[in-house]
């Protein structure tokens, strides 16, 4: 108990409040995504055919953007949860980086809405993946900072091999996010499908680099 108290005298804090705030921000951002799926844009409907046609023309792009954003935000939340399962303490710098990370999270509903509402405008389309790319970069930055400070994590629970594996994986994932940004200029939100095979490739490449 004494060792724990001594840590807190060095401007180190429990991560409980950081995790609670982060969980709340992620959950609110994921919920706000659905607000773009409004039936008011459909208009008056009297037949099944009209409803199908309206859903296809008015909501199809928004729905695709919603699904992609929701799944990717869920994935980024899972990354955050895994990281803070290993990070035991937080200092002021780590909390600042986390707040910047959450700033990127709360912008997701806005950039998702732009991409869904103006799919024909390149700037509106590209801001969406840029937002996710920035989020992946900040995520990697936070992990690199936390693991550069031995007092923030338990070395017994987080060996050096695991730290290096996750650092390599984060770099590759950020590179995939950059490719998605470029592809989105040509194929829009469908470029995010690259994250599906990219996730498996990232794990294999990171594992091979650690073993070599």
What's residue 63's pLDDT? Answer: 79
What's residue 48's pLDDT? Answer: 82
Q: Rounded mean pLDDT of the chain?
A: 84
Helices (H), the chain: 2-8, 16-32, 48-54, 60-86, 92-106, 108-117, 122-147, 160-187, 195-211
Neighbours of 81 (CB within 10 A): 13
**DSSP string computed for 144-180:** HHHHT-GGGB-TTTS-HHHHHHHHHHHHHHHHHHHHH
> How does pLDDT run across 61-88, given as a tens digit for each residue?
777 888 888 999 999 999 999 999 999 9
CA distance 70 to 109: 9
What's residue 95's pLDDT? Answer: 96
Q: What does each C-alpha distance from 65 to 45, 190, 198, 210 come to in angstroms?
A: 24, 9, 19, 35
pLDDT band at 152 (very low <50, low <70, confident <90, very high): very high
What's residue 9's pLDDT? Answer: 47
> How does pLDDT run across 19-62, given as a tens digit for each residue?
999 999 999 999 999 887 766 666 677 688 777 776 666 666 77
Closest by CA position to 87, among listed 170, 13, 2, 3: 13
């Amino acid at each position: 108990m004494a060792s724990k108290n001594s840590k807190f005298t060095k401007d180190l804090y429990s991560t409980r409040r950081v995790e609670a705030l982060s969980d709340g921000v992620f959950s609110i951002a994921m919920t706000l995504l659905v607000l773009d799926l409004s039936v008011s844009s459909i208009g008056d409907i009297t037949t099944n055919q009209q409803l199908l046609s309206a859903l296809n023309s008015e909501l199809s792009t928004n729905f695709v953007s919603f699904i992609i954003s929701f799944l990717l935000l869920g994935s980024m939340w899972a990354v955050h949860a895994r990281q803070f399962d290993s990070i035991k303490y937080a200092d002021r710098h780590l909390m600042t980086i986390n707040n910047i990370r959450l700033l990127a999270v709360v912008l997701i509903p806005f950039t998702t809405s732009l991409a869904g509402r103006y799919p024909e405008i390149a700037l509106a389309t590209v801001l969406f993946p840029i937002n996710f790319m920035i989020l992946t970069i900040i995520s990697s930055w936070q992990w690199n900072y936390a693991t550069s400070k031995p007092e923030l994590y338990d070395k017994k629970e987080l060996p050096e091999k695991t730290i290096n594996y996750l650092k390599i994986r984060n770099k590759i994932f950020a590179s995939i996010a950059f490719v998605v940004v470029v592809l989105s200029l040509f194929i829009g939100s469908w470029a995010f499908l690259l994250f599906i095979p990219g996730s498996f490739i990232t794990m294999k490449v990171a594992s091979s680099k650690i073993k070599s």
